[in-house]
Amino acid sequence: MKSSQYVHFFFSNEPLFFLEDLMTRQGGLLWVDKYRPKTLETLDIHPEWTEKLASLCEQGTLPHLLFYGPSGVGKRTRIYALLRQVFGIAIEKRQVEHRFLKVGEPPKEVELTTITSAHHIELCPADVGYNDRLVIQEIVKEIASSKPIELGNVHRGYKVVVLHDIDEVSKQAQQALRRTMEKYTSCCRIIMSAESVTRVMEPIRSRCLGIRIPCPKKEEIEQVLQKIAKKEGLVLPDCYANQLVTQSKGNLRKAILLLQVGRAIAYPFSQQQQKKNEEEEESWISSQETGWDWERLCYDIANIVIREQNPKQLCNIRNKLYELFCHAIPGDMIFRKITLHLLRMMDEEVAPQVCHWAAHYEYGMKRGSKEIFHLEAFLAKVMYIYYSHIHTQYSMAWMDD
Query: Which listed residue (108, 230, 275, 366) binds another protein by CB under 8 A?
Result: 366
Minimum distance of another protein from residue 152's CB (angstroms): 21
Laid out side by side, the sheet with 209-212 consists of 95-103, 108-116, 120-123, 159-163, 188-194, 65-68, 209-212
The site string for another protein over 167-206 (x = CB under 8 A, - otherwise) reads: -----x--xxxxxx-xx-xxx-------xxxxx--xx-xx
Q: Which is nearer to another protein, 160 or 365 (CB)?
A: 365
Q: Does residue 89 belong to the site contacting another protein (CB under 8 A)? A: no
236-265: contacts with another protein (CB under 8 A):
249-251, 253-254, 257-258, 260-261, 264-265
Query: Which listed residue (77, 85, 117, 131) binds another protein by CB under 8 A?
Result: 77
Residues 302 and 338: beta-carbon distance below 8 Å:
yes
Cα gap 81→358, rounded to integer Å: 38
Residues 386 and 346: beta-carbon distance below 8 Å:
yes
Interface region with another protein, contact rule CB under 8 A, candidates 38-46, 65-73, 146-154, 227-235: 65-73
Nearest to 268 by CA among 235, 231, 232: 235
Q: How many CB atoms lie within 10 A of CB 263?
A: 17
Q: Which is nearer to another protein, 76 or 239 (CB)?
A: 76
CB-count burial class (<10 Å; 0-12, 13-18, 19+) for 256: buried
Interface region with another protein, contact rule CB under 8 A, candidates 25-33, 81-89, 227-235, 239-247: 25-33
Query: Which listed residue (33, 150, 280, 289) binds another protein by CB under 8 A?
Result: 33
Q: How far is CA 184 from CA 63, 119, 147, 175, 176, in A?
A: 12, 15, 12, 15, 13
Query: Which listed residue (39, 44, 93, 104) binds another protein by CB under 8 A?
Result: 104
Q: Does residue 37 belong to the site contacting another protein (CB under 8 A)? A: no
Minimum distance of another protein from residue 326's CB (angstroms): 5
Minimum distance of another protein from residue 141's CB (angstroms): 9
DSSP label of 151:
B
Q: Which is nearer to another protein, 222 or 362 (CB)?
A: 362
Q: Does residue 94 belong to the site contacting another protein (CB under 8 A)? A: yes
Q: Does residue 328 belong to the site contacting another protein (CB under 8 A)? A: yes
Nearest to 74 by CA among 259, 221, 231: 221
Q: Does residue 318 belong to the site contacting another protein (CB under 8 A)? A: yes
**DSSP reduced 3-state for 109:** strand
Q: Does residue 286 belong to the site contacting another protein (CB under 8 A)? A: no
200-229: contacts with another protein (CB under 8 A):
202-203, 205-215
First-to-last alpha carbon distance for the chain, in angstroms, is 60
Provide the sign of the torsion angle of the four alpha carbons 254, 260, 264, 268, taken in this order.
positive
Cα gap 270→8, rounded to integer Å: 56
Query: Which listed residue (42, 113, 145, 287) binds another protein by CB under 8 A?
Result: 113
Cα gap 250→71, rounded to integer Å: 9
Interface region with another protein, contact rule CB under 8 A, candidates 24-32, 83-91, 144-152, 232-240: 24-32
Q: Return the H-helix or E-strand segment holding 258.
A: helix 252-265
Minimum distance of another protein from residue 185's CB (angstroms): 6
372-391: contacts with another protein (CB under 8 A):
372-374, 376-377, 380-381, 383-384, 387
Residue type, 247: Q
